Amino acid sequence: MIIVMKKDATEQHIEDVVRTVEVKGFKSHLSKGVEVTIIGVIGDERKFTEGDFILLDGVDNVIRILKPYKLASRNFHPENTVIDIEGVKIGGKEVVLIAGPCAVENEEQIMVSARRIKQEGGKILRGGAFKPRTSPYSFQGLGQEGLELLKKAKEETGLLIITEVMDTNEIDLIQKYADIFQIGARNFQNYNLLKAIGSTRTPVLLKRGFSGTIKELLMCAEYILSEGNVNVILCERGIRTFEDSTRFTLDLNAVPLLKKLTHLPVFVDPSHGTGDHELVIPMSRAAVAAGADGLIVEVHPNPKEALSDGYQTLTFEKFHVLMEEIKKIAMVLNRSV
């Protein structure tokens, strides 16, 4: 249920409503928009009715949200959520580029990548330190050493850092190095991990599982939001379908659909979504045209030698072309890169 406050509701009115919600044993979540304040009431919906709140001072309307996700829904937060990380605004007018290798491999590789990504206009550096690999015999990442290298790259270039967290016991360590947590496709319904990340305030990019529906993705976001971490970015990264000519099927329907259903920023990962470096640029263009707030793309100084995901990884030259092309598309949509 959401309680929509009147435009002229005072701080005191808002405080009184929040107190009433909590006294009744429910959790409240405040969403202060430019126009109106909305208070989300979270708890067993059978235990309260609209009448419990409609007569309180300053209340304009009380609406039941029928969707299973509440805090993630646009009803609760009609305006787009914009997450500001050290001046980089995610979910706003700018299309934000996250780029970097699949995994941090060594100092030279990550530093050279960071410098080039910065030069091309990327804002955030990606690189796995703890890698979820299909085979236990494949490269598993450098662990803490990889995090140290990411930190060094940030110190030199100023790029923000995103890296994957696979387990609750890695959160404290990764939090010291990363500006954004990545929750990978294989972990998107790891509810303990979602709750633990929800209790931090570090922004998180939540990838859609490859057999996850849009509704399931939004329910996973709800886990994080309901613990109080409102800095959630959603990411479409391809799903499994009957089509096996590409690694996954990049579901671009997800972009406008998510923008309709939720206020959270929506990113697209054309690297994992296609699995093919030749498809990454066209699908990046399509993602921006479909309304994505940003892209996460794999880039490596020498993709042929990459320890993971080399075939879907762009060279620096191709990353340059990608940036040039999406700038044009963004401009048509009155956005910038």
Which residues here bind Mn ion, judged by CB under 5 A?
102, 309
Instruction: Give me 89's structure tokens.
Output: 């605004």
| Phi-psi map region of 279: left, alpha, beta (phi>0 left; psi -120 to 50 alpha) | alpha
- b/e string for 196-220 if b means 16 or more Cβ within 10 A? bbbebebbbbbbbbbebebebbbbb
Residue 306 interacting with ligand PEP (CB under 6 A): no
State the nearest-atom distance from the C-beta of 241 to Mn ion, in Å: 20
What residues pair up with 182 in beta bridges, in sequence order? 164, 205
The one of ligand PEP, Mn ion, none whose footprint includes residue 320, by CB under 5 to 8 A per kind, is none
State the nearest-atom distance from the C-beta of 308 to Mn ion, in Å: 6
CA-CA-CA-CA torsion sign (40, 42, 46, 51): negative
The one of Mn ion, ligand PEP, none whose footprint includes residue 212, by CB under 5 to 8 A per kind, is none
State the nearest-atom distance from the C-beta of 253 to ligand PEP, in Å: 18
State the nearest-atom distance from the C-beta of 102 to Mn ion, in Å: 3
Binding footprint of ligand PEP, residue count (CB under 6 A) = 10
Concatenated DSSP letters for 36-80?
Answer: -EEEEEES-GGG--GGGTTTSTTEEEEE---SS--TTBTTT--SP
State the nearest-atom distance from the C-beta of 273 to Mn ion, in Å: 11
State the nearest-atom distance from the C-beta of 237 to ligand PEP, in Å: 4
Q: Going residue by residue from 87 to 106, which x/- string records binding to ligand PEP, judged by CB under 6 A?
A: ---------------x----
The one of ligand PEP, Mn ion, none whose footprint includes residue 132, by CB under 5 to 8 A per kind, is ligand PEP
SS3 label, residue 226: helix
Q: Which one among 33, 132, 228, 282 touches ligand PEP, defined by CB under 6 A? A: 132
State the nearest-atom distance from the C-beta of 85 to ligand PEP, in Å: 19
What residues pair up with 98 in beta bridges, in sequence order? 124, 296
The one of Mn ion, ligand PEP, none whose footprint includes residue 184, by CB under 5 to 8 A per kind, is ligand PEP
Q: Whose CB is nearest to ligand PEP?
A: 184
Residue 154 interacting with ligand PEP (CB under 6 A): no
Cα angle 81, 35, 223 (rounded to 5 degrees) comes to 35
Name the DSSP letter for residue 238: -
Task: Provide the total of helices (H) and of strands (E) in the chain, helices listed first.
Answer: 10, 14
Compute the distance between CA of residue 288 and CA of residue 24 in angstroms, rounded to an integer: 45
Compute the distance between CA of residue 90 and CA of residue 276 in angstroms, rounded to an integer: 27
The one of ligand PEP, Mn ion, none whose footprint includes residue 179, by CB under 5 to 8 A per kind, is none
Report the 10 Å Cβ neighbour count for 330: 17
State the nearest-atom distance from the C-beta of 106 to ligand PEP, in Å: 17
Q: Which one among 122, 184, 265, 275 touches ligand PEP, defined by CB under 6 A? A: 184
Instruction: Give me 40's structure tokens.
Output: 């989300």
Indicate the pairing of strand 124-126 with strand 160-164: parallel
Q: Going residue by residue from 188 to 207, which x/- string records binding to ligand PEP, judged by CB under 6 A?
A: -------------------x
The one of ligand PEP, Mn ion, none whose footprint includes residue 116, by CB under 5 to 8 A per kind, is none
224 φ, ψ (degrees, to nearest 5): -70, -45
Amino acid (one-letter) located at 180: I
Q: List binders of ligand PEP among 203-242 (CB under 6 A).
A: 207, 237
The one of ligand PEP, Mn ion, none whose footprint includes residue 91, by CB under 5 to 8 A per kind, is none
Nearer to ligand PEP, 21 or 102 (CB): 102
Residue 263 interacting with ligand PEP (CB under 6 A): no
Give the footprint of ligand PEP on this chain (CB under 6 A): 102, 128, 132, 184-186, 207, 237, 269, 272
